[in-house]
Structure 1
């Protein structure tokens, strides 16, 4: 009986020793894993840099913002502005009093100011912004690398002024510069007179029928008319359509016709000066 009790105590002692050894081993394993964890786990920056796994990805419960935008139909382009257009204004002009950035990378600097006729119901700052967009490009006259343009305040020295005028005032100003812009007795087109780029308010708000029927946005016509009349100020003359289906040169009289060409508001296309046969 003594021998049996001794054997029992020895077995219990061995069991306790085994339990202690196992506990120590488990603790060492946990500590080792915890110490290894920082080097084994990617940081947020490293994870973001990893390529996505190949194969199908889990479906999202809601579409991504980009997918939502792509799936939504685009708004139809504005072809002409609604409402009546004032046919006459006060004959006086409000000038934008701001300076703009220098447009273009090199070449002669020509300064221009911007003015809108009082009574035209147009904002001079908004018109100045549209003119700047047209003259900035890419595709504008400054893409030649030999010309820079800059808007200056109304009372500053300038090379020319861009006017937005009602039809009656535009007709009078153009006639004074030797240009008749009438069709069927009504001032219809825009023009350039010495030192003056004169944009007809009717065209600025309504575009022209062949642009509208072709669903060319009003913004494209506005860019065209600015670049066309500024082109005259820079010494360029009228050109013809170079071929059916081709872009119309900016110096083509797109306000009157397209003659098989496609509407184009830019003097430079794909980085090159784009022209047609002389008129």
Structure 2
């Protein structure tokens, strides 16, 4: 074989490239042999020393690409929307007779005159007296209720016990009759619409209790807020408070404002006390 020096220049370049290729193949083969055998020529994968293991970062799951949604089980469920009104037909008339919650409640308020009340639900209204009493308790317990004055205490008593007033839940027809007997006309458009207070009687209209009113529903005010408002409003009448007006656009509505009919620029408010102080508006 002729020496490289005697080959033509073109063949010399080909010879050099061939020699480099052979060298690379031999190097790769040696590396593969070392990796397959491990250190010392022993078969098996290379093992890390004990002090090296702690330096290896843990495996982290790769984030999902933007186009891939996580599985349903990984998502956080959202809160259900508030109940604005109850579904189903509302009885327009009941039997005219009432059943009473037989429980005694705790004394609400820290000081002042104690006034006792009982809770009644009309038969045929498809409502439960204990559930109604619980909602009344929530409204009158506060914080924010009438007992926050520090001069009044309230307590629910059983149906046959001595009391100062009764909170009734009545169908529209019965509520209209009871309110009219007490000198209050609750009709709107010729039909019993609002609730009322007659002497010794706080009368809550079943239509309003289940359906709220259109402007509350349109503003997505929860039914529970309307219920708290209507109880505090009518109990406020029983305690001697009269209707009030909106004190200014954008301000909370006084609880003694007729929020069942309008807001007049005010914001919904179910409480007579805000931040521990009596909140009121101009007399109507």
- 1:112 corresponds to: 117
User: How many residue pairs align between the two structures?
Assistant: 216
CA RMSD of aligned residues (A): 1.9
- 1:172 corresponds to: 177
Gaps of 5+ in 2: 1-59, 62-72
- 2:137 corresponds to: 132
**Equivalent runs, 1:22-37 vs 2, <5 Å:** none
User: How many angstroms apart in 2 are the aligned matches of 1:249 and 1:124?
Assistant: 28
TM-score w.r.t. length of structure 1: 0.75
User: How many angstroms apart in 2 are the aligned matches of 1:269 and 1:259?
Assistant: 20
TM-score w.r.t. length of structure 2: 0.74
User: How many angstroms apart in 2 are the aligned matches of 1:245 and 1:204?
Assistant: 26
Q: Do structure 1's residue 77 and structure 2's residue 82 form an aligned pair?
A: yes
**Equivalent runs, 1:101-250 vs 2, <5 Å:** 101-250=106-255
User: How many angstroms apart in 2 are the aligned matches of 1:215 and 1:96?
Assistant: 31
SS in 1 for 2:235: helix
SS in 1 for 2:267: coil
The structure that has the greater radius of gyration is 2
**Equivalent runs, 1:22-61 vs 2, <5 Å:** none
User: How many angstroms apart in 2 are the aligned matches of 1:242 and 1:111?
Assistant: 32
Please identify runs of 4+ aligned residues in structure 1 that moved more than 6 A.
Answer: none
Q: Do structure 1's residue 273 and structure 2's residue 278 form an aligned pair?
A: yes
Deviation at 1:71, TM superposition (A): 4.5
- The structure where helix makes up a greater share of residues is 1
Gaps of 5+ in 1: 1-58, 61-67
SS in 2 for 1:102: coil
SS in 2 for 1:164: strand
User: How many angstroms apart in 2 are the aligned matches of 1:260 and 1:79?
Assistant: 21
